[in-house]
Structure 1
Amino acid sequence: MSAEAVKNARLLLLKEYRGVLSTHSLAMPGFPFGSVVPYCLNQDGWPLILISRIAQHTRNLKADPRCSLLVSERDAADVQLNGRLTLMAEARQLADPQSVASAAERYYRYFPESRDYHRVHDFDFWVLHPLRWRFIGGFGAIHWLEQAALANPFAGAEGGEGAMLEHMNDDHAAAIAHYVEQAGLPGTDDARMVGIDAEGFHLRIGQAIHWLPFPSACSTAMDVRQALVAMARS
């Protein structure tokens, strides 16, 4: 298994925030059923989704949890030459209150409008537990990947991701605006930092999610601080 392919597959999963979820159809047995779902990654680096109990894909998953999630590079000029990832997984609904609360706190940062869906309509959190990956990094760059190391070292840690996000959003709006301008993204006024991982961070601008890389990978909170300061000064 190529270490470079694993890295690129992880980066693609981080850069995107929606994919095509394919489930086993109940209405037409033997046929796959595809639907578009937004996702963010939980602390294990696995896709976290929020889906309605009455949706067809939810009914399908309750009958057979085996599924796949297809993620591809957005705005690709030639889809055959750009990266795409098919994640084969087992979907598991979160049930215990602590897991649901943790999932909600993370998911709402990325998709704040979903609070009403969850509260008013019958939506539940599900996690896609990866079994195998099919990553295509371009023409001829095809890889089967087994269990890849995807965990976020800062998620859930005391003084980790949550504290860093709060600090940046409350005290360093100017730095965030600079990151947005530096990356050539639209809308500096409403940009908020919603996620931090070892390789970079997520910004929410309007209803779009953008992932920006650090100059180099970070393993500690101090590394993250130094990377953010360096990017703010560049």
Structure 2
Amino acid sequence: MPPEDQALATGSEARRFVRAYHNGSLCTLSKKLEGYPFASVSPFVLDDRGNPLILISNLAEHTKNIDADSRVSLLVQPCSPDMQAAGRVTLTGRATRLPDKNAFADRYLRYLPQARDYFAAHDFYFYRIAVEYIRYIGGFGKIHWVRPEHYAPPPSDALVAAEAGIIAHMNADHRDNLRDYCRHQYALDVFEVEMVGMDYDGFDLRADGTLLRFDLPDPVTNAQEARKALVSLAQQCRESVDKNAQ
């Protein structure tokens, strides 16, 4: 594989890894403690370019630190009995407060509904971490620095505009398909299920209270491609059921 294609593949792998999680360890530069690193826990949701969006209070220590020095890093990794053996990604960049508090509210709250009370408070604001450096550790011997242009997906404004409609349609008319997706990919029989997000790389469902990530083999950039991908996955689910029934 040519080096540029390999770099894009590694960047895509790192981005898909991050999409599976919504909590990270946020490290800021302390204002109170003379520039010492200061770590805290922060839920996040990615925007369409792979940049983390965090909702934080201006009373919090990390917010005071960001307002004094915007350089931050966010470590994303699963909880594991052996944390060093698990994959992880560190996203480093500059965090900036968004002027419109409502711009990402709907998407953020679909993923993190427990934040609704925080969002209603007047002292909470969205900050976007504009990713500048990515450190991806996918396992033993799989360690990479990833350039931001290899990590970020291409712009997909049409999909961003269509996302809410796709979600509403799937939740209103195709709950059985959503359950089939869970059964097919995770071997889970679920009762309560809803789609919460659709993006360039795949989609997310909340199934019986747990967020599940579904990567798609081909990128999705608009409503038509999303529909094609979801129909194809539903067909795979039916074929898998028919095969197992034989």
TM-score by length of 1: 0.88
AA at the equivalent of 1:183: Q
AA at the equivalent of 1:203: L
Q: For the residues of structure 1 that align with 2:112 and 2:187, how far apart are their CA atoms? A: 19
Deviation string for 1:134-175 (max 9, x for gaps)?
A: 111211222112223235625432xx2111111001111111
Indicate the residue corresponding to 1:93 in structure 2.
97
Indicate the residue corresponding to 1:192 in structure 2.
194
Q: Is the 8 A contact 1:18 1:38 kept in 2?
A: yes
* Structure showing the higher helix proportion among its residues: 2
Q: For the residues of structure 1 that align with 2:25 and 2:105, how far apart are their CA atoms? A: 21
AA at the equivalent of 1:192: E
- Match of 1:150, SS state, is coil
Q: Is the 8 A contact 2:29 2:38 kept in 1?
A: yes
- Pick which of 217-226 and 8-17 moved more: 217-226
Indicate the residue corresponding to 1:107 in structure 2.
108
Give the alignment partner of residue 172 of structure 1, picking from 155, 171, 174. Answer: 174
Q: For the residues of structure 2 that align with 1:57 and 1:155, how far apart are their CA atoms? A: 33
Indicate the residue corresponding to 1:183 in structure 2.
185
Percent identical: 37
Matched, 1:143 2:148: no
Indicate the residue corresponding to 1:126 in structure 2.
127
Q: For the residues of structure 2 that align with 1:56 and 1:221, how far apart are their CA atoms? A: 41
Indicate the residue corresponding to 2:14 in structure 1.
9
- Pick which of 79-88 and 213-222 moved more: 213-222
Matched, 1:64 2:69: yes
Indicate the residue corresponding to 1:162 in structure 2.
164
Unaligned runs of 5+ in 2: 238-246
Give the alignment partner of residue 231 of structure 1, picking from 227, 230, 233. Answer: 233
AA at the equivalent of 1:45: G
Q: Is the 8 A contact 1:17 1:209 kept in 2?
A: no
Indicate the residue corresponding to 2:206 in structure 1.
204
Q: Is the 8 A contact 1:44 1:152 kept in 2?
A: yes
AA at the equivalent of 2:56: I
AA at the equivalent of 2:140: F
TM-score by length of 2: 0.84
Q: Is the 8 A contact 2:190 2:208 kept in 1?
A: no
Q: For the residues of structure 2 that align with 1:137 and 1:184, how far apart are their CA atoms? A: 21
Unaligned runs of 5+ in 1: none
AA at the equivalent of 2:48: Q
Alignment coverage as a number of residue pairs? 228
Indicate the residue corresponding to 2:59 in structure 1.
54
Larger Rg: 2
- Match of 2:180, SS state, is helix
Q: 1:212 to 1:78 in 2, by over 3 A?
A: same
